[in-house]
Amino acid sequence: MKKSSSPLAVRLSEYAFYLPVLVFFFGPISWLLLASINSDPSSAWQIPVEVTLNNYVQLITESDLLLWMGNSMTLAIGTMAVTVVLSTLAAYPLSRVPFPGKAVFMYALLLARVMPITAVIIPIFSLAVQLSLVNTFAGAILILSAMQLPISLWIMKNFVDSIPVELEESAWLDGCNRLTGLIRIVFPLMSPGVAVTGLFAFLAAWGDFLIPLIILRSPNTFPIAMGLYRAFGDQGSVNFGFLTALSVLYSVPSIALYLFARQYLVKGMTAGGVKM
Amino acid sequence: MLSINAQTVTLFGRRVSRRRLGELSLLIFMLPALILVIAFVIVPAVWAILISFTNQSLLGPNARNFSFIGIENYLKLFNDPGFWNSLGTSFVFVFGSAFLGQFVIGFTLALLLKQAGVASRGLIGGSVLLAWVIPEIVAVYIWGSVLSFQSGSANQVLLALGMEKQRWLIDTPLLSIIIVNIWRGTAFTMLLFSSALEAIPDTLYDAAAVDGASRWERFRHITLPLIRYTILLDFILITMGTFSVFGIVFAMTGGGPLGRSEIIGVYIYRNAFEYREIGYGSAASVVMLIINLTLALVYLRFTRVKWTVEG
Amino acid sequence: MKTVKLILALLLVVIPLTVPVLAQDAATLTVSFPGDPRSETVNALIEGFIAMKADQGQPVNIVINEPTEGYGDQLLLDFGAGVGPDVFSISAETIPEYVASDLIMPLDDLVAAWDEWDNFPQGMKDMPSMNGSVYAIMYNTDTRVLFYRSDVLEAAGITLPFAPTSWEEIFAAAEQIKANVPDVIPMEVESGTIWGEGTTMDGFFMLFRGANGNFLDPEDGKWIVESPALLDAFSFYERMFGEGYSAAEPFMEPEPWVFWLQEGLANGDVGMAVVVNVVWGLYAPEGPWAIENRDEVLSWTPMPAREPGAGINGLDYVSMGGGWGWAISNATENAELAWEFVQYMTSADAITTYTAGVGGIPSRLDAAVDDPHVAAIVEQVMPYQSFRPLSADYTRVSEQIQIATEKIMLGEATAQEAMEQFAAAVEGIVGADNVKRLPLD
């Protein structure tokens, strides 16, 4: 890849934008990091007088950290898998096959998702009860996936739209039928879409609190989002060491996935060999 | 019902070409996604719309024996100054945090970071993302530590610069929650545009550069047309997302002081759960839905995306 | 054909999702209670019940629901979806709403035949009662007192032990702190909407009862929305904030209790605070809000009425009591077992265990009290305890109280204006026919 060297003025103006952005986004988070290694953390931003890893050590030795991590992984990976597979399957017909009422359907998808969770939580829960999904990972994963699907379907359809039909048509001439053409030509080209919908689905499920709260009732199914509440005790007391250290650990997989998915976005395009 | 001959198939009395039938059979692939979405998204939404015409409550005599009351909830809603206040607050909140904030910053970041080195990408992109993935309850403590009057870091910075301390959550509550929501939600726009920009082949830019196109011209004539659809999608998604924000605002300001930061999400929660009036809360949700629908139509015109979903 | 196979495959995936709920075993009891920090103690007690039943040759299966967050909302969802628990823990002031929903079982016949019922003091019988019926058996209660930092008061030149007998003496102490120890915020009385029910219960009612205030007229059941007592209580807030004895800003921040109690009172940055008594345990040197030398720097005294004898029922001091009880669902199919469970969980032994493990004040006279602090509270404060009004409208009226204090705190209304706006708001909630205004003298 060739990178055009920009004039100095442009570069400087870029950094002039980066700096405040970095301060704004990272500044508040620095409290979290500093408090997590402080032997006497509090609600105020402060440089630790005594640096310690005790908060992390205690998390690993004294809490159910590994259990929560495992449960969160089950939820997030499960949701990511269901969302990616179902939206990849659905995106192709949504993009290529005309059928009556498609525009209405696509909008209805998005709009239905707008309903505030407070208005739909009761029917969602009632349905989960009817289907015996309460207290099952499958239930939480299916609901989380369903909530993620509208956005995923839109993004994936968007990607298929951008893949020229001509590519497929040439494959049909080579003897592929529609299905094998789909598998050999279209699916590989959808990889940036897969990366971004997969990332969104993972992050949404990893960070969700409400669905696990209503669906996963027994402590050995709690994800990290609920483990976090162990930081809160009687009369609103807060264990800042526990809260901040767990939050830092909670964020690591998301950041790692983001960095991984970014590479995948780029690779997906170059490997797909799109030449226009 | 179904009869087959060489080139065409008769389905429900209509003649359909075999090719078209093959196409239609592809719709099967939509089925699993469709079932999930209908079960847990569409049905609950329709349910909420139906409930909005009843006097159902979560507790009390109307919890089980509720009845259909027509548009009474809607009339009550339109007569409640608190509702209009929350609508006004929401518009400012959405405009400020979604457009001026998330869209402008997120889009610019996606553009800049595409060219940037690994370090900037990791550091800047990582920070923006961190703000998004941190659990809500923790974000509340983080911003509590920034905006606290007595010891908050924002006021410490102001003091260091020789300025006066600000009562962030009392005098400028709406601005405060807008800032928090920009911080929290920019990552989504950044990621969406990053993936869209990544999908534009470099060869297009290279060719334009050879023709002597300036940076701006390349952006205006290559990038913008290709991502117009993504801009529309982002507008719709962040508007809807921001309209239904509730948790972080509820935890930061509780909608106060005295309703000055009460966005509609908080209004709905307050009525549906705290006051237990789920029918009334649903009516407010339906109004919000209609506003979102209207805005989506406005964006369609604004971005001039031609809406033909014909493949 | 491929298509047909695909459809079949999909149906195989979908059908198992629609299998109906299996009927539950007859000897199963579903129990809900708010989890942490009570989880360990309550679970151990439940284990004890299971073991006891097993010894009697009647094995039971207990399904436990213990959310650490959003307990009230989860309970509503469960009942709404028809899967409410058989037995559940309930905070006393929410009982009227559950009664109005027909979700909770009256226990009158059961307690009448229960020989241990008289081991509960009258207050613990009244708190879970409505319209003459008992709806829950209390297992824990609490009360509120005036905590103060003796080191701060000493530095301000106030004679210790501090034992105010009127509001005037409290204000005088605040004035001295303000003048002599300027870095310290003299006092904290919970205010504003962010603190939620705490503002009403720990702050407002401690003043309102101290001025002989009552919301529900015992004669006609109407809400008294304007009264001299209400004006007195609001005037207390007006003076406290107006004179700079307290600070408005922290009350408007997301977690005011962290600022005021976990950090402020613990670090000696706050002089006095009207707080629930259980914080005493939290400030223990090994507790979550540790004050190393707690017993030297932290003290408490009963909250005085406006003047001696001006309190509710002519009392000199006031205290508000809240608490948690065990209730049985009206829809349970296992009422007998549920009642056995409740009896077990509210036995003298169980309550002793609970108090030792979790804190608070035992709800029974015959539960042992080890902690000298709790013993002192029971002796000196419990006689002054009063409770919140039992009404299905309580939660919404309570919110209006919080709004009124917030207006006064921010200087947006005087005590008089706040009371008038409060009266209008409550009238809107309960209806004009259900309110009355007492003449102000």
Task: Give pLDDT tens digits for C200-215.
Answer: 999 999 999 999 999 9
Chain C environment of B256 (Cβ under 8 Å): 192-194, 252, 406
Chain C residues within 8 angstroms (CB to CB) of chain B: 3, 6-7, 10, 13-14, 73, 76, 79-80, 97-98, 100-103, 192-194, 247-250, 252-255, 258-259, 392, 395-396, 399, 403, 406-407, 410, 412
C128 upstream amide cis, omega within 30 of 0:
no
Of C76, C258, C259, the CB nearest to B59: C76
Q: Give the mean model confidence (pLDDT) for residues C355-373.
A: 87
**Does any domain span residue A44?**
no
ipTM (interface predicted TM): 0.85
Of B43, B230, B289, the CB nearest to A158: B230
Q: Which domains does chain C have, with CATH numbers?
A: 28-142+322-370 (3.40.190.10), 144-320+391-437 (3.40.190.10)
Higher-pLDDT residue of A129 and C339 is C339
**Does any domain span residue A78?**
yes
* B118 shares its domain with B8: no
Contact B219, B178 (CB under 8 A): no
Higher-pLDDT residue of C83 and C158 is C158
**Does any domain span residue A123?**
yes
* B185 shares its domain with B44: no
Chain A environment of B152 (Cβ under 8 Å): 44-45
For chain C, give the mean pLDDT: 90
User: How far apart are alpha carbons C147 and C274 in whole angstroms?
Assistant: 6
Chain A environment of C74 (Cβ under 8 Å): 213-214
**Does any domain span residue B65?**
no
For A:43-72, CB contacts with B below 8 A are 43-45
Q: Return the residue of A nearest to C69 by Cα.
A: A229
Token representation of residue B91: 């518009």
pLDDT at C83 (0 to 100): 87
Q: Return the residue of C nearest to A228 by Cα.
A: C68
Chain C environment of A121 (Cβ under 8 Å): 77
What are the helix and strand counts (H, E) for chain C?
A: 20, 16
User: How far apart are alpha carbons A246 and A239 in whole angstroms?
Assistant: 11
Domain coverage including residue A184: 64-272
User: How far apart are alpha carbons B34 and A87 in whole angstroms?
Assistant: 10
Chain B environment of A106 (Cβ under 8 Å): 309
**Does any domain span residue B311?**
no
Higher-pLDDT residue of B276 and C108 is C108
Domain coverage including residue B22: 2-51
Count up the domains in chain A and report the number: 1
Using DSSP, state whether C143 is helix, strand or coil: coil
Chain B environment of C101 (Cβ under 8 Å): 59-61, 63-64
pLDDT at C50 (0 to 100): 94
Higher-pLDDT residue of B10 and C247 is C247
Residue C19 has pLDDT above 70, yes or no: no
Beta bridge partners of C435: C223
Mutation target to probe the A interface, by most A beta carbons within 10 A, among B18, B27, B40 is B40
User: How far apart are alpha carbons C373 and C356 in whole angstroms?
Assistant: 12
Count how many pairs of residues, chain A against chain C, have C-beta atoms within 8 Å: 85
Pairing of strands C61-65, C28-32: parallel
> pLDDT band at residue C182, thresholds of 50, 70 and 90?
very high
How far B258 CA lies from chain A's nearest CA (Å)?
22
Which string of DSSP letters, residue by residue, matches B254-310? Answer: TT-STTTT--HHHHHHIIIIIS--HHHHHHHHHHHHHHHHHHHHHHHHHHT------
Q: Which residues contact B176 (CB under 8 A, 6 or more apart)?
A: B147, B168, B169, B252, B253, B261
Q: What is the CATH number of the domain that holds A186?
A: 1.10.3720.10
Burial of A239 (0-12, 13-18, 19+ CB in 10 A): middle
Burial of A231 (0-12, 13-18, 19+ CB in 10 A): buried
pLDDT at C17 (0 to 100): 41
Chain B environment of A243 (Cβ under 8 Å): 138, 141
**Does any domain span residue B70?**
no
**Does any domain span residue B308?**
no
Token representation of residue C83: 């899967």
Count up the domains in chain B and report the number: 2
**Does any domain span residue B61?**
no
> Smallest Cα–Cα separation from C276: which of C197, C184, C216, C364?
C197
Measured CA to CA in angstroms, residue C276 lies from A5, C198, C375, C377 at distances of 66, 9, 15, 11
Q: Give the mean model confidence (pLDDT) for residues C163-191.
A: 97
**Does any domain span residue A14?**
no
pLDDT at C146 (0 to 100): 97
Of C70, C262, C279, the CB nearest to A238: C262
Q: Give the mean model confidence (pLDDT) for residues C2-26.
A: 43
**Does any domain span residue B60?**
no
**Does any domain span residue A189?**
yes
User: How far apart are alpha carbons B196 and B226 in whole angstroms?
Assistant: 9
Residues in chain B predicted with pLDDT less than 50, given as ranges, are 1, 307-311
* B139 shares its domain with B257: yes
Quick one: what percent of chain C has pLDDT higher than 70? 94
Token representation of residue B217: 């011209």
Q: A162 at the B interface (CB within 8 A)?
A: yes
* B23 shares its domain with B94: no
Q: What is the CA radius of gyration of chain A?
A: 23
Place of tokens 């089980």: B64
Beta bridge partners of C22: none
How far A254 CA lies from chain C's nearest CA (Å)?
24
pLDDT at A3 (0 to 100): 46
**Does any domain span residue A186?**
yes
Measured CA to CA in angstroms, residue C119 lies from C13, C49, C326, C362 at distances of 58, 21, 16, 11
**Does any domain span residue A42?**
no
* B45 shares its domain with B175: no
Chain B environment of C392 (Cβ under 8 Å): 60
Contact A34, B153 (CB under 8 A): no
Q: C359 at the A interface (CB within 8 A)?
A: yes
**Does any domain span residue A38?**
no
For A:90-129, CB contacts with B below 8 A are 90, 92-99, 102-103, 106-120, 122-124, 127
- Going along C201-344, which residue ranges are E strands? 223-226, 270-276, 298-301, 303-304, 317-320, 322-328
Residue C25 has pLDDT above 70, yes or no: no
> Smallest Cα–Cα separation from A201: which of A144, A256, A250, A253?
A144
Token representation of residue B220: 């205006």
**Does any domain span residue B69?**
no
pLDDT in tens, C377-430: 888 998 899 999 988 899 899 999 999 999 999 999 999 999 999 999 999 999
Q: Give the mean model confidence (pLDDT) for residues C152-164.
A: 95
- Going along C206-336, which residue ranges are E strands? 223-226, 270-276, 298-301, 303-304, 317-320, 322-328
How far C56 CA lies from chain B's nearest CA (Å)?
38
> Smallest Cα–Cα separation from B66: which of B277, B269, B267, B274?
B277
Q: pTM for this one? A: 0.88
* B206 shares its domain with B297: yes
Q: Do C82 and A179 touch (CB under 8 A)?
A: no
User: How far apart are alpha carbons C29 and C64 in whole angstroms?
Assistant: 9
Which string of DSSP letters, residue by residue, matches C67-120? Answer: -SS-HHHHHHHHHHTT---SEEEEEGGGHHHHHHTT-B---HHHHHT-TTGGGS
**Does any domain span residue B59?**
no
Q: What is the CA radius of gyration of chain B?
A: 25
Contact B263, B97 (CB under 8 A): no
Q: C170 at the A interface (CB within 8 A)?
A: no
Contact B84, B300 (CB under 8 A): no
Q: Do B281 and A258 touch (CB under 8 A)?
A: no
Q: What is the CATH number of the domain that holds B94?
A: 1.10.3720.10
Count how many pairs of residues, chain B against chain C, have C-beta atoms within 8 Å: 93
Chain A environment of C83 (Cβ under 8 Å): 129, 134
Contact B296, A107 (CB under 8 A): yes
pLDDT in tens, A212-269: 988 998 888 999 988 888 888 878 888 999 999 999 999 899 888 888 887 766 554 4
